[in-house]
Chain A
């Protein structure tokens, strides 16, 4: 069945280092992927998205990489800061249904050490 999952539940990095958060998906029909950041007590906040016709997209300090061959998605955060500490979720749209329905992974907790 469809699933979106993360390789590691917790990632601990030193402030200033780069962070890489990974995500695997199983539905090859998914054509849209998105990363959210959720801080404690808050709703998820959009970080960056990517469509399946791209393999890389860059934002401010963040880069998303999509490898459709192995159905793998990653979020790279440059020069990680304490404010980046949060839970990060990847999500994919539900196949090609165009409903906007997203399937979320379990999340990776990013801990930034000062």
Chain B
């Protein structure tokens, strides 16, 4: 079946512009996560959606970052007034949480470059 997909795969933007990154999770997965990965680094948690619960936004680095998940499926991560330090790969993952499984399935990521 289809895995997690993300678009665009690459995004180059000028400093100060807004960007939107999209994530299509695996159908039926109730949990959705966004991470940021800088070059040669681990995954930095950004935000987590679970069903109809309020999202866990504790990892968002500033108020320029926001995310929404419409209809419990597709999610959009928005970065306003981008800065050069926002350059990274943004990864999305989804999980079914079925049977207490925490396995997260990752998309290929969106590589964001802010010039």
Contacts and interface: CB of A to CB of B under 8 A. Distances in A.
B42 A102 contact: no
Interface in B23-61: 31, 33, 35, 41-43, 45, 48, 50, 56
A81 to B, nearest CB: 22
Contact of A49 (B35, B103, B107): B103
A43 B102 contact: no
A25 interface: no
A106 interface: yes
B42, B48, B56: residue with the most chain A Cβ atoms closer than 10 Å: B42
Contacts, number: 57
A105 B37 CA distance: 12
Interface of B: 4, 31, 33, 35, 41-43, 45, 48, 50, 56, 91, 93, 95, 97, 100, 102-109
A99 B42 contact: no
A44 interface: yes
Given A99-B56, A100-B31, A105 B42 contact: yes
Most buried by A among B91, B97, B102, B105: B102
A33 B108 CA distance: 22
B88 to A, nearest CB: 13
A101 B106 contact: no
